[in-house]
Structure formats: C-alpha cells, structure tokens
Amino acid sequence: MAKKRALVTGLTGQDGSYLAEFLLEQGYEVFGLVRRSSTVNFERISHIQDKIHILSGDLLDQNSLISAVAEAEPDEVYNLAAQSFVPASWGQPVLTGEATALGVMRMLEAVRRVRLDTKFYQASSSEMFGKVRETPQSEATPFHPRSPYGVAKVYGHWITVNYRESYDLFAVSGILFNHESPRRGLEFVTRKVTDGAARIKLGLADELRLGNLDARRDWGFAGDHVRAMWMMLQRDEPQDYVIGTGATHSVRELVELAFGCLDLDWQKFVVQDERFLRPAEVDLLVADPSKAKSELGWEPTVHFENLIRMMVEADMKALGSKLSEQRSS
C-alpha cells in the first residue's frame, strides 16, 4: 500500500519537529514547509532531516504555498506555522495578522485549489479564550482574545470552520492549550525559567527577570499534544477539539518547582521586571478536554511536575556539555 503523505508547515518549530517525528513513526512520507533564512535553523529536526522532504515556502506568499501543496500532494496538511510569541504580536501586529491570520486562509486556498480531498489541521490556540467567559474552557466557550496574536488565531479558527462549511473540506481546528518541551523556544516562560534556573545553578547567571507571576496556564507536553492533532484527522467527520491536561498552575508555582528541582531558593534569584508585563493579560487558562477524551481516546501522558523536571534536566545537560566543551577548547 502507498505511504500516506503529510505536509507540515512550521516544521522547524517545536511542534513541527515532534509532529514530523510522530508521522515518520506512523509510516508517513513527510513533507515540511520551511521559509528561507540566511542561516539554516534545523536544530530541532537535524536528527530526522534526511527522512523529510523539505519544501521552500512562506505563509505570506500564496504562490509558494500552492506549489508546496501541488508538489507534496498530501493526504493531510498540518498548518503549524505562525508568528507564535504573544508579546511580539503587539510589536508586530501587522506581520502577526499576515502570518497567523491570513496565512491560514492562504494555506486553505492552496489546498482548495490543488485538491479537495486533503484533510486540513489548523493549529488554533487557547489564547482565543483570553479573558475567559467560563472555567474550564471547552469547545463551547466563547472567545475573548487579549492580544493581536489571539485575535489572529480567532480569524484562523473561523476561516477553517468557514472553508469546511463552504467547500465541504475536511478541515479541523485543534484548540490547544500551552504545551512545552526541552525544544520550547527560550522566550516562552517555561523554557525561560528552566534554562534560567540551570544557568544560575551552573554559575552562568545570578538572576532571572520575569513578568507576571500570578498568570495561570494549563501546561502539557508537546509530544502528547501533536498526537492529538493526528487523531483529529483520523476521524470520519471533521470536528474541532480542545486539547489540554485539565490542570492549571501559576507562573510562581512553575518557578518554585523548577528552582526546587535544583535545590535553589527561587526567591533569592527571581526579579520581577515590568518590561515583561503585557498590555493585556490572559489570567487563567484551564482546559475541559472531555470531548477529546471520549471521542478521540486522547489523554496526556506527561503531567506538570514531570514536564518541568524533564525540561530542567535537559537544560542542565545541554548547558553542562557546552561548559565542558568551552573548558576543554
């Protein structure tokens, strides 16, 4: 039987790398969309790079997306690419709208123009719930986004629903709560904290500057969440799902846990810095993942404490080997 073909946008990102790994394990032929940059940034996919067909394209460029879909002829498209860092969306709201909102429509157009029987996954976000109208948040909770990023994701969600209803496309929107891993970008709070704690432990830094310690998030493991994306596309009917662990923790609890893993008293090192406060905050996110559990059979395998421990250990190892390389050179 011919291998199933998948096209993943955002291949070089955290989720793209985990999803590509997962699809290869499932026996897929994997195509990944990568935008041109002056230096190659394949750090997260270097171990699987030879097994993936890399295609050049940009969410801002419609023709490149049509070409990528035409070349890959995918059974499944996973649209993970986006400007995904919330604070950057206030600094670059137009770019965020172009990539995170209109980019979704361009990918849907590419799929519609090239072939109609491709299944489409859109990486939607719990940021859409923003100033939450109810707790926990489910597929039925109304949106109230609090950042240009969140607003752009609401467009991405509704254009996905609209293409499903307009063109009978198998298009789903996965509303994913925060998910983290040792591959998380260094600017996101979990990785900033685990990397920061490891640096302090190793004598490479003496403080960590953070913003709002009271914000609460439903933090899961990226490896678990990408599996849910795939599960959504294996259903007979396209439907949208909320994916999260159902537990919420504050940034303060995160800091206490990460520093505690290294026997450090966080209060001696963490400095609150208003530069990291946001013009409008999302105070509390926590998922009601019951629909995903009952219909997809999806459940998280890694919970908050183990996730943070895994990230602290990975940062200690990575920084430790860099240090010994420097010392021996």
Binding site for ligand NAP (CB under 6 A): 9-16, 35, 37, 41, 58-60, 80-84, 99, 123, 125, 176, 178-179, 185
Does the footprint of ligand GDD cover residue 15 (CB under 6 A)?
A: no
CB 323, min distance to ligand NAP, A: 26
292 closest CA partner among 233, 219, 231, 237:
231
Select from 112, 192, 225, 249 the one that contacts ligand GDD (CB under 6 A): 192
Q: Which residue has the tokens 């361009």?
A: 106
Does the footprint of ligand GDD cover residue 212 (CB under 6 A)?
A: yes
> If contact means CB under 5 to 8 A according to the sort of partner, which of ligand GDD, ligand NAP, none does residue 86 touch?
ligand GDD
188 closest CA partner among 214, 211, 157:
211
Looking at residue 87, what DSSP letter applies?
T
Ramachandran category for residue 172: left, alpha or beta (phi over 0 → left; psi -120 to 50 → alpha): beta
Q: Which residue has the tokens 């709201």?
A: 93
User: For residues 276 and 124, what is the distance between their CA atoms, to the nearest angstrom?
Assistant: 24
Looking at residue 236, what DSSP letter applies?
S
Does the footprint of ligand GDD cover residue 26 (CB under 6 A)?
A: no
Which residues on neighbouring strands pair with residue 78, listed in sequence order? 8, 121
Q: Which stretch, 154-162, 183-191, 234-242, 296-304, contacts ligand GDD (CB under 6 A)?
A: 183-191
DSSP calls for 237-248: S---EEE--S--
> If contact means CB under 5 to 8 A according to the sort of partner, which of ligand GDD, ligand NAP, none does residue 59 touch?
ligand NAP
User: For residues 265 and 39, what is the distance between their CA atoms, to the nearest angstrom?
Assistant: 39
18 closest CA partner among 182, 143, 173:
182
Catalytic site includes residue 149: yes
Catalytic site includes residue 125: yes
User: For residues 145 and 160, what is the distance between their CA atoms, to the nearest angstrom?
Assistant: 17
User: For residues 254 and 195, what is the distance between their CA atoms, to the nearest angstrom?
Assistant: 13
Does the footprint of ligand GDD cover residue 90 (CB under 6 A)?
A: no
Does the footprint of ligand GDD cover residue 211 (CB under 6 A)?
A: yes
CB 184 within 8 Å of CB 310: no
CB 322, min distance to ligand GDD, A: 22
Catalytic site includes residue 124: no
Residue 42, CA distances (Å) to 8, 46, 195 in order: 14, 6, 20
> If contact means CB under 5 to 8 A according to the sort of partner, which of ligand NAP, ligand GDD, none does residue 189 touch?
ligand GDD
* Phi, then psi, of 114 in degrees rounded to 5: -85, -50
**∠ CA 75-299-20, rounded to 5°:** 35
Contacts 24+ apart (CB under 8 A), 35-43: 35/59, 35/81, 41/12, 42/12, 43/12
Catalytic residue (choose from 125, 126, 147, 173): 125
Q: Report the residue number, 42 or 85, with the smaller CB distance to ligand GDD.
A: 85
Q: Report the residue number, 106 or 192, with the smaller CB distance to ligand GDD.
A: 192
Does the footprint of ligand GDD cover residue 207 (CB under 6 A)?
A: no
Select from 235, 252, 278, 309 the one that contacts ligand GDD (CB under 6 A): 278
Does the footprint of ligand GDD cover residue 251 (CB under 6 A)?
A: yes
Does the footprint of ligand GDD cover residue 125 (CB under 6 A)?
A: yes
> If contact means CB under 5 to 8 A according to the sort of partner, which of ligand GDD, ligand NAP, none does residue 210 touch?
ligand GDD
Q: Which stretch, 3-11, 71-79, 120-128, 221-229, contacts ligand GDD (CB under 6 A)?
A: 120-128
Residues that bind ligand GDD (CB under 6 A): 84, 86, 125-127, 177-178, 187-189, 192, 210-212, 215, 217, 251, 276, 278, 281-282, 285
Please give the positions annotated as active site: 125, 127, 149
